[in-house]
Structure 1
Amino acid sequence: MNPQEPSLPLTTDRLILRAYRESDAEALLPMYSREDVARFLLCDPWTAEESRTEISKRIPKTGLSTESRALSLVIETKDGLDDIEGSIIIGDLGIWLNGESSEKAEIGWVLNPAAGGHGFASEAATAVLNIAFDHYRLNRVVAQMDARNTASARLAKRIGMRQEAHLRQDWWSKGEWTDTLVYGILHSDRQQA
């Protein structure tokens, strides 16, 4: 693994992927407090206090070579995009090392439903996969999700991940047994951004 962390922010054609700051607690609260967003997450909808706590946990996650072994990023649109005034936060994503290995990681994302359908999540996730494989030299990245989260499953497929498992009733979440889908992508079969 490359001991140097990638320069932040990461930029794509339409997005800025940057490290968290304290002010993101207020900016992300309207998204994470929504029932429809939290439905498939491991957490309940956030309160203002939970938002501050969660963001403070993500601020130090600045790279896979750091003590946190994780990279957590806010997804912001670039200024000047059609139909979007100014730069706005539309979600977040993260990648973290699995277990003791420095060659396998898991990726996860949350996008504001209002920003869906424009390819922003694919653009952001592909940029992070490129960092994972090109900078960190990972061999494998997985995404695990509630099987009812069809939007997340479609995103995983769009960015070149393959469904590897459908685990039946393997996770107790919010008062019910839920299924988990596991998607994976290897260094050898990834897409380039």
Structure 2
Amino acid sequence: MDPLDLPLTTDRLRLRTYVESDAEEQLRIFSREDVSRFLLEDPWTAEVARTKVSERMRRTGLDTESRALALVIETADGLDFLEGSHVIGDIAIWLEDGSDEKAEIGWILDPAASGHGFATEAAIAVLNVAFDHYGLHRVFAQMDSRNIASANLARRIGMREEAHLRKDWWSKGEWTDTLIFGMLSSDRQTA
């Protein structure tokens, strides 16, 4: 298999691997209570941001030792309503334990960047890589059922809701429901 050609680019986005200096920009997003509310971790501190970015820097492809690809989502230069390029989130895909054909996808977007279709554009680009470059059979996403924006994104990109698990996850002092969405290579949309 040829190495993945990075960064990935779309009409309005650049999806690139992490560098050490991303800790500050991602801290701005991941330290927010409204962002971390539905995540499995607490809001980031500066120290946590440095550690998490260091971990993500090693996730450079499904065919690497990490078996994962973590990308910074940043806007492309020259968008009419934004000046310059801005880090607006994170998207990652990682192989399911024991499989080379099934992977999980996850995304986090700065709430200030929502409503412009950026998450949809990024997710479709990563799904295209998953199916076209890596030849995956299935990609799935799991999320807190209260995360309506994430569930809507999964539906928008063509993922199918496959399960609603009731009170199956203990998170931040309460039992929460989990939604599971899936997409097979045969039922995907292309960017």
Q: Same fold (TM over 0.5)?
A: yes
- Structure 1: where are the runs of 5+ without partners? none
Q: How many residues align?
A: 191
1:88 to 86, 89, 110: 86
Determine if the alignment matches structure 1 residue 148 to structure 2 residue 140: no
Instruction: State whether residues 146 and 181 of structure 1, in contact with CA within 8 Å, keep that contact through their aligned partners in structure 2.
Output: yes
Partner letter of residue 161 of structure 2? Q
Deviations 1:133-170 (A, max 9, x none): 00000000000000000000000000000000000011
SS in 2 for 1:165: strand
Partner letter of residue 115 of structure 1? A
- Structure 2: where are the runs of 5+ without partners? none
Instruction: State whether residues 145 and 180 of structure 1, in contact with CA within 8 Å, keep that contact through their aligned partners in structure 2.
Output: yes
Instruction: State whether residues 108 and 143 of structure 1, in contact with CA within 8 Å, keep that contact through their aligned partners in structure 2.
Output: yes
1:100-115 equivalent positions in 2, closer than 5 A = 100-115=98-113
Shift of 1:4: 2.9
Percent of aligned positions with the same letter in both sequences?
71
Instruction: State whether residues 4 and 65 of structure 1, in contact with CA within 8 Å, keep that contact through their aligned partners in structure 2.
Output: no
Determine if the alignment matches structure 1 residue 138 to structure 2 residue 136: yes
SS in 2 for 1:84: coil
Give the alignment's Cα RMSD to 1 decimal.
0.5
**2:41, 2:74 → 1: CA distance?**
23
Determine if the alignment matches structure 1 residue 36 to structure 2 residue 37: no
* Residue 155 of structure 2: aligned partner: 157
Partner letter of residue 101 of structure 1? S
Partner letter of residue 125 of structure 1? A
TM-score (norm 2): 0.99
TM-score (norm 1): 0.98
Shift of 1:191: 0.2
